Amino acid sequence: MKFTFFHLMPYRPLDMVERHKHRAGWVVLPNALYDPVKGAEEYHSFIDQLVYAEALGFDTIAVNEHHQTAYGLMPAPNLIASALIQRTKKVKIAILGRALPLVNNPINIAEEFAMLDNLSKGRIITGFVRGIGNEYHATGINPYFSHERYQEAHDLIVAAWTKPGPFAFEGEHYNFRYVNLWPRPYQQPHPPVWIPSMGSSETIKWAAAPERKYPFLVTFSGRDLVARYLNLYREQARQYGYEAAPGQLGWASPIYVADTDERAREEARAGIETLFNDFLAVPWEMLMPPGYTSLQSMKNTIKMRKALGARTRHSLEDLMASGTVLVGSPRTVREEIARQRDATGAEHLIAMLQFGVLTDELTRRNMEMFAAEVIPHLR
């Protein structure tokens, strides 16, 4: 297997009492709650953690993009990636991902990734996402056209990377007379593209297509859903007439390891529960703006939600029981990862080893134990 150390960079000093006076930790959460002195320290700690992951032997370190939220302090993840390039030597650096529909000029994304690819001499892995529903409130971009803009921006970026310029791009949402990238990407024909997703069938079909074969990463889902989506991808690949390679499949999960199951639970609890209940939780109207998914997908999601009943607070135990988070002794965590690997054939594990309010000290211990006691057994 291959291991990615993934970071969201949450704003840990958030006043949770104040947080819950607002409808979400996103978009409408007053930024008076952000203290730049504390925030600057957060950036330094988190970048140190990402850099340390190289020394510990992770294959990849990864950042991602979110806007107007305490959940993640990287509205411009390429800035962090650029800093990481300067402080690391060999590790791959993944940006998982840039939210394509949210920009009005996707060429900027193609340019920035090409720059990072040159700066790192080919250590960049790019990720293409649509951004979560909240971000359509944050940016004003119309969610009804999200899928269209995503496809079109993707086509434009890949063309900009691979087609000799200058050329004209004629789209519905994006039109450019001159597409002519300086610099061109370092990796040929272009940097790898990974697709993190909550598992929509439209995305699976698109990512698995023979002309793309993009690695598909299921994010923040229970073990059954992860297995289901990854196997859907495999099945889709077979329908296209090929067998999905292990490197095309992966999943992301918050993970915490300590000497014993009991100690791991005790140490991970605050981090996990704040991640899901304070940082991530948003009302339906923000998460699922109309048009963000197809009408049929939205109807299915609504039905599923009704069947599950009203959302309550997620406890660590619930999240462990569903396999959304992996928390326990190295042996417990190893076994759980191995089971999922065997059930899906996935090669990539995107491990989130800092989550919610988890402290620097516990994060460091978690990373070290994961690197020493989990990774070597699963390589």
Partner 1 sequence: MAARELKHRIRDITVRMLRDGQGAPLLYLHGANGPPPWAAFFERLAERYDVLLPEHPGFGTSDNPPWLRNVADLAMYYLDFLEELGAPKVHLVGHSLGGWVAAELAVRNATQLASLCLLAPAGLRVKGIISGDNFIWAPDETARNLFYDQKFAEAMLGRTPTEEEADILLTNRFMAAKYGWEPRWFNPALERWLHRIKVPTLVIWGENDKLLPAAYAKVWGERVPNARVEIIPRCGHLPQIEQADAAAKLILGFLDGAAR
Site for partner 1, rule CB under 8 A = 23, 27-28, 136-137, 140-145, 283-286, 289-291, 295, 298-299, 302
Neighbours of 127 (CB within 10 A): 24
CA distance 96 to 344: 21
CA distance 63 to 8: 6
Contact present, 59 and 2 (Cβ < 8 Å): yes
For 42, phi and psi rounded to 5 degrees? -60, -50
Q: Which residues pair with 23 in a beta bridge?
A: none
* Choice between 28 and 168, CB closer to partner 1: 28
DSSP structure string for 320-362: HHTTSSEEE-HHHHHHHHHHHHHHH---EEEEE-S-TT--HHH
Minimum distance between the CB of residue 74 and partner 1, rounded to whole angstroms? 23
* Choice between 11 and 136, CB closer to partner 1: 136
* Choice between 14 and 138, CB closer to partner 1: 138
Minimum distance between the CB of residue 290 and partner 1, rounded to whole angstroms? 4
Closest of 112, 116, 92, 86 to residue 100, by C-alpha: 112
Minimum distance between the CB of residue 171 and partner 1, rounded to whole angstroms? 14
* Choice between 137 and 234, CB closer to partner 1: 137
DSSP one-letter code for 262: H
Place of tokens 């070290």: 368
CA distance 36 to 154: 35
CA distance 102 to 136: 7
Give, to the nearest 10 degrees, the angle between helix 36-55 and helix 360-369: 10
Minimum distance between the CB of residue 78 and partner 1, rounded to whole angstroms? 25
Neighbours of 347 (CB within 10 A): 16
* Choice between 202 and 335, CB closer to partner 1: 202
Minimum distance between the CB of residue 320 and partner 1, rounded to whole angstroms? 30
Contact present, 128 and 154 (Cβ < 8 Å): yes
Minimum distance between the CB of residue 139 and partner 1, rounded to whole angstroms? 9
Closest of 223, 217, 204 to residue 247, by C-alpha: 217
Minimum distance between the CB of residue 180 and partner 1, rounded to whole angstroms? 29
Minimum distance between the CB of residue 19 and partner 1, rounded to whole angstroms? 17
CA distance 210 to 36: 46
